[in-house]
């Protein structure tokens, strides 16, 4: 277990203040995961320096939603597979809409205790989504629609895009897909961007659902 926690890292983006310093100390004490605080004005960082599982924990109050979206774009464009969670979020805040980004797996609210935050962080590292039932219900209501069975849409995708879509259906991360196909992370992200655009979806769940409706021969590949 010691090896597993040492391969994980938390990068907290927020103000350089006592509250956040205490928070990262508490998280490290309870999880044994290395934590680093990056002050709001210094949001540029060398992502290639981070190996293993990385969680970007972003203080929702430290910047306007437009600035937070810029940070998400920076994270999305970098070469590593990094998960994102927001904390200090207000209910009905515009920050909630950022859950549409494919790497945003958690949103914690101001009333959440430090113990709940730690529990959620641990869950995210284990592959869980830490989102409220209200938020999930609203998201499903906005995004769900009657499936369309159009089998000729299979011709929209290249062989490699179908291969990546099959691997995505297994729950594989971008890192795992890149290693399985022996290609770079940038190549995987480019293929995912192109196939998302072709089939008009914005996240992995929608892409897998599209594949189930449109690719009759979808058989998820086995990760070795």
Domain boundaries, the chain: 2-142, 151-214
Domains 2-142 and 151-214 share a fold: no
Parallel/antiparallel/unpaired status of strands 82-89 and 8-14: unpaired
Are 167 and 177 within 8 A, CB to CB?
A: yes
Q: Which CATH superfamily is domain 2-142 in?
A: Response regulator (3.40.50.2300)
Q: How far is CA 121 from the centre of its chain?
A: 13
Q: How far is CA 60 from CA 57, 69, 129, in A?
A: 9, 11, 18
pLDDT band of 108, cuts 50, 70, 90: very high
Residue 115 pLDDT: 93
Q: Where are the beta strands (DSSP E) in the chain?
A: 8-14, 34-39, 53-59, 82-89, 104-109
- Tokens representing 31 are 């999880």
Strand partners, 56: 11, 84
User: For residue 213, is pLDDT > 90?
Assistant: no
pTM: 0.64
Which residue from 68, 66, 88, 102 is spatially nearest to 188, judged by alpha carbons? 102
Residue 224 pLDDT: 45
Out of 1.10.3720.10, 1.10.645.10, 1.20.120.1200, 1.10.10.10, the CATH code matching 151-214 is 1.10.10.10
The Cβ-side half-sphere exposure at 109, using a 13 Å CA radius, reads 12
pLDDT digits (tens, 9 = 90+) for 164-211: 888 888 888 888 898 889 888 888 988 888 888 888 888 888 888 888
Q: Measured between alpha carbons, how far is 213 from 45 in angstroms, rounded to an integer? A: 40
Q: Measured between alpha carbons, how far is 72 from 94 in angstroms, rounded to an integer? A: 14
Please give the span between the terminal C-alpha atoms of the chain, in angstroms, as a whole number.
22
Are 77 and 85 within 8 A, CB to CB?
A: no
Q: How far is CA 75 from CA 46, 64, 101, 192, in A?
A: 11, 17, 11, 15
pLDDT band of 218, cuts 50, 70, 90: low
Are 174 and 82 within 8 A, CB to CB?
A: no
Are 117 and 86 within 8 A, CB to CB?
A: no
Q: How far is CA 101 from CA 26, 33, 35, 74, in A?
A: 28, 25, 23, 12
Could you identify the residue written with the tokens 């769900």? 144
């Amino acid at each position: 277990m010691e090896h597993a926690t040492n391969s994980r890292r938390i990068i907290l983006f927020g103000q350089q203040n006592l509250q956040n310093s205490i928070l990262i100390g508490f998280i490290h004490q309870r999880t044994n995961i290395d934590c680093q605080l990056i002050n709001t004005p210094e949001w540029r960082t060398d992502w290639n320096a981070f190996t293993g599982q990385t969680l970007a924990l972003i203080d929702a109050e430290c910047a306007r939603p437009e600035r937070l979206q810029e940070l998400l774009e920076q994270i999305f464009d970098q070469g590593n597979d990094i998960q994102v969670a927001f904390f200090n979020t207000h209910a009905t805040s515009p920050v909630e809409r950022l859950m549409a980004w494919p790497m945003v797996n958690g949103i914690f609210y101001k009333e959440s205790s430090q113990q709940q935050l730690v529990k959620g962080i641990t869950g995210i590292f284990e592959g869980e989504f830490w989102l409220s039932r209200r938020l999930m219900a609203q998201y499903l209501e906005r995004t769900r629609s009657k499936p369309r069975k159009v089998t000729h849409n299979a011709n929209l995708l290249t062989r490699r895009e179908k291969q990546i879509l099959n691997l995505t259906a297994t729950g594989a991360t971008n890192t795992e897909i890149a290693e399985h196909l022996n290609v770079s992370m940038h190549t995987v992200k480019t293929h995912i961007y192109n196939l998302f655009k072709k089939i008009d979806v914005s996240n992995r769940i929608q892409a897998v659902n599209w594949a189930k409706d449109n690719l009759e021969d979808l058989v998820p590949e086995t990760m070795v």
